[in-house]
Structure formats: structure tokens, C-alpha cells
Amino acid sequence: MADADEHVLCIPAHICAHIEDGFTPGERMGARLNPEAARWLPRGECETDSSWQQLIPYCVLLHKGPIDFGSDWCGLFAYQRTKQQGESRLHGKWSIGVGGHVSRDLDGGPGAQPAELSAVRVQQLVLRAAVREVHEEVELFSQPHGLQFRGLLRDRRDPVGEVHLGVVYSVQLPEPYLASREPSAAFGGLRPRGWFQSRISEFENWSQILLGDSHESPAYVGM
């Protein structure tokens, strides 16, 4: 259940009107949105208010390298959401996305005066949230090669997607070793792209889009 007192970073839905459902690739978040329009809003309110889109960093972790599977092997991190996960509408679904809300505690917390939400500041906050989520949810045994912005995710087919906008990052792992830290994420690990092709329907909508919607997606598996 969402913490009604938590303030999260949101952007007006009308700002996203030009963004179609699916994965929209891009080189910069600011080139696709007007980040300066973002506002801090109580999460409990915006979970049911489709006039706002909550910004959600959604990180895809992958490793490419000539290990036991051959030089063309590419592993994607995947896990199954358990009932300990906060969003009950996603329980039991598989996911390739590590991420979560951009909470105001990244900007000084409820008792502090937040900095002005300029375009640059908003992009910094989303990236900071992405880095925090990766380190909180996944134990990495090697230093990743940074986070790269890849595009935006939108899917208004269900109540979850209607109030969230995904900000997609890819995380390149130099070594194929990692483990899930989160009890809400079961069976977490790297899997070859072929593993996903017969299981696409078991994944949450955003992951399905990245796995099969666009050749420009960092997680495209050739569906």
C-alpha cells in the first residue's frame, strides 16, 4: 500500500500527450518531456489521479560477454514480484525493471525547503533515484559502467500504467554476477535472451514492451 504521506515526483499528464503507448527511445529525458513542469505530490493522491504521471526510473541490468554461453551471449536481469512488493496489482508478475518512485527525501525530505524544480534538477533527481534503487535492490559484485538514459515507457491499458511514466535506463555489468537484495523480488538473476521468449505473457506490461516492442529497446529479445 502506498504511503499517503510520501511525496513523489510527478509530471502533468497533458505534458505527456505526445508520448504514445510503448517505448519511446531518446538520448535525453529533457528532449522528450518538459521536466520543469514536475511537482511533488502526495503519493496517496496521485495513485488514482490520471491527470498526473508519477515518474518511475526503470533500470534494465544486462551483461554482454564471452562467458560459458559464447561471445554473443547477453544476459538480462529478471525477477518475480512477490506479495511483499508494495504494488499489489503486480504481485506474481515477472519483471526486468529495477526502480521505484522518486521520493522527496532525495531533495532534502519533508522538513526541508526543496530546491527549485528546474529541468536539470528534475533529471538529476530521477537519475539519483535510479542509482539508489539499483543499489538497494540488487547486490552487484562489480562496478557497473554507469546508467544510460534510453527512453520513456508509457502504457495506459491498466490502472497502474495510467498513472505512471517509466524513465528507462540501461545498466551495463562488466561481470555476470549479481544477486537480489529484496525479499519482494524472488528468483532474481541473469538469464539469456532466449529464456524470455516463451514467457513473455508472465511479465508485467512495461517489461513486455521492452522485451518485444522495439529494436531500439535495451532489452529487445526478437519476439
Closest by CA position to 149, among listed 163, 135, 130: 130
Q: Which domains does the chain have, with CATH numbers?
A: 7-212 (3.90.79.10)
pLDDT value, residue 67? 46
pTM here? 0.85
Confidence (pLDDT) at 69: 43
Contact 131, 143 (CB under 8 A): no
Residue 12, pLDDT score: 94
Residuewise pLDDT in 10s, the chain (223 residues): 346 578 999 999 999 988 999 999 888 887 778 888 999 999 999 999 999 999 999 999 988 765 444 444 568 899 888 755 665 566 678 999 999 999 998 886 555 455 678 888 999 999 999 999 999 989 887 788 788 999 999 999 888 889 999 999 999 888 878 888 877 667 778 888 788 888 888 899 999 999 886 666 776 644 3
pLDDT at 87 (0 to 100)? 58
Task: Please report the pLDDT score of residue 184 as a whole number.
Answer: 67
